[in-house]
Amino acid sequence: MNPTIRVLFDHSDFIIVDKPSQIAVQNEDRQQGILPVICQQLDIEKLWLVHRLDKITSGILILAKTAEAAASFGHIFEQRKIEKYYLALSTKKPKKKQGSIKGGMKKVRDGKWILNGTHTQQALTQFFSFSVAPNLRLYLVKPLTGKTHQIRVALKSLGAPILGDELYGGQASDRTYLHAFAIKFTYKDMPIALMCPPSEGEYFTGLDTQAVISNQQQPWSLNWPKYTINSLP
């Protein structure tokens, strides 16, 4: 039985939903992707993906209702006029508690990626981290580029792989603790700022973690390192 997908925002041109973890954005051999599930749930004939989340990642996903809206979002993403914020948990202490991670992304065996010193496939990720409990730390992450596995590789490079992300050395758990938490952009002169706290996973829903997350309202208001569009990879 397909899960009921929570709709966070419904616009005439697009919807924003809370994607559960362990459901892919596209069809797989043994599992329907999220598009046909939502189309059936909302009785919509067709929806367009305008960005992607890994199967293991939960949280905010934008889906366009028309090809024209999908093209508009293509321009918004291309011009980097959309801010995305993620939450992650790790059982490891990072090399630094906040800052930026920059490097070239290189694909290696077993479907993994690594950061290296090259200038190809450059990725830039900013983060703050907060202590939740002994051996548990929350990361608020702002990716400024959109590379495959970017956040997972960035936290691995800090020595703090994501809890449950065994591909990158994270401790085994009931899920991979990565969640698309907040988004901010303007669509046809309409400013949209939306947050979606995680609702699944033993450690995301624990009282200690929820208390720390509740202090991260309006993540775009934090003192993130400054950058210019031209300085981005």
Convert the pLDDT of each residue in 65-115 to its tens digit. 999 999 999 999 998 899 999 999 999 988 888 999 988 888 888 889 988
Same domain, 19 and 118: no
Same-domain status, 72 and 91: no
- Report the percent of the chain where pLDDT is more than 90: 71
Residue range of the domain that includes 107: 83-233
Q: What positions carry a catalytic annotation?
A: 54
Model pLDDT, residue 103? 87
Residue 24 pLDDT exceeds 80: yes
Segment 126-185, tens digit of pLDDT: 999 999 999 999 999 999 998 889 999 999 999 999 999 999 999 999 999 999 999 999
Co-location of 60 and 126 in the same domain: no
Q: What is the mean pLDDT of residues 9-29?
A: 90
Domain end residue (candidates: 44, 79, 114): 79
- The domain that holds 104 is classified in CATH as 3.30.2350.10
Statement to judge: residues 43 and 102 lie in one domain: no
Q: Are residues 67 and 105 in the same domain?
A: no
Q: pLDDT at residue 39 above 90?
A: yes
Residues 97 and 54 both lie in one domain? no
180 and 159 within one domain: yes
Least confident stretch, 2-6, 46-50, 58-62, 199-203: 2-6
For 67, counting Cβ atoms within 10 Å of its Cβ (0-12 exposed, 13-18 middle, 19+ buried), the class is exposed
Query: Helix H segments across 176-225?
Result: 207-214
Domain match, 89 and 121 both: yes
Number of domains in the chain: 2
- Residue 142 pairs in a beta bridge with 126
